[in-house]
Amino acid sequence: MAAAATCSACFQFSTVLTVKADGSGTIEQRLLFSQSAVAQLRQFAALSGGAPDFDPLSERQARDAAASLGTGVTYVSSVPIDSSEGVGRDISYAFADINQLSLDQAPPPPGGMAAPQGGGPGERVTFKLTRQADGHSLLTIALPAVPAISASNGPSAEQVAMLKPMLTGARLSIEIEPAGTLVRTSSPFVTDRRVTLLDVNADALFKDDTLLQRLQAAATPEEMKTILKSVPNIKLNLDPEITIEFQ
């Protein structure tokens, strides 16, 4: 039941990471569940004996999440959100050393529900900051590998049709903004100093009924990149590493 509730909860989860030359910085996260998703989650909570005022992301859960982000990460503050757009929380964390960070791309389970199995080192975003001979800082971000999609392991048309209404409005994004001057980055998605690692809109993915078949037919990551470039409102780095050089 927890897995079903988590999967059917329409959400928006964004992470903006700011890093300084000394490796310290901040993490700003927003987790938002739609009002309809929260109503459904409260029904699940009531059926399992939970409180009727179910909170999808309490301040305590936000505080406890600091430990899962890496050594030296501290909770700073948070503000609850309860609007027509949805229910959730804006959260601020601080970290002393970006080399100790480890970020999950997926949102935390609502209301402290059990997380899905997995989430090992190779499935999280990690960072390495080094100082160059010219005084510039080089940040290397290791990204989880995107599994190959084929006709044998990909979802069927019936499964896609079932998932589509569950994930309507869902969005995931991770962005990094170095303090100072951005010199160069290997990511093709840059706005001013802000570098986008991923920005995936479920509505954009499901809008094209041929997308899944075309991705299943792709023989190489380069072909997948070419296909995804044609999808509006999708920014997804498929390279195993992204570099950001700044001063």
Residue pLDDT, tens place only, 154-208: 566 676 666 666 677 788 899 999 999 999 999 999 999 999 999 988 877 777 7
Mean pLDDT of 215-223: 78
Highest mean pLDDT: which range of 39-43, 193-197, 198-202, 212-216: 193-197
Prediction pTM value: 0.81
What ranges do the domains of the chain cover?
A: 2-246
The stretch 209-236 carries a mean pLDDT of: 80
pLDDT at 193: 93
Q: What is the DSSP string of the chain?
A: -HHHHHHH--EEEEEEEEE-TTS-EEEEEEEEE-HHHHHHHHHHHHHTT--TT--SS-HHHHHHTHHHHBTT-EEEEEEEEESSS-EEEEEEEEES-GGGBEE-SSPPPGGGPPPPS---GGGSEEEEEEE-TTS-EEEEEE-PPPPP--TTTSPPHHHHHHHHHHTTT-EEEEEEEESS-EEEES-S-EETTEEEEEEEEHHHHHH-TTHHHHHHH--SHHHHHHHHHTSTT-EE--SSEEEEEE-
Q: Give the model's pLDDT for residue 75.
A: 98
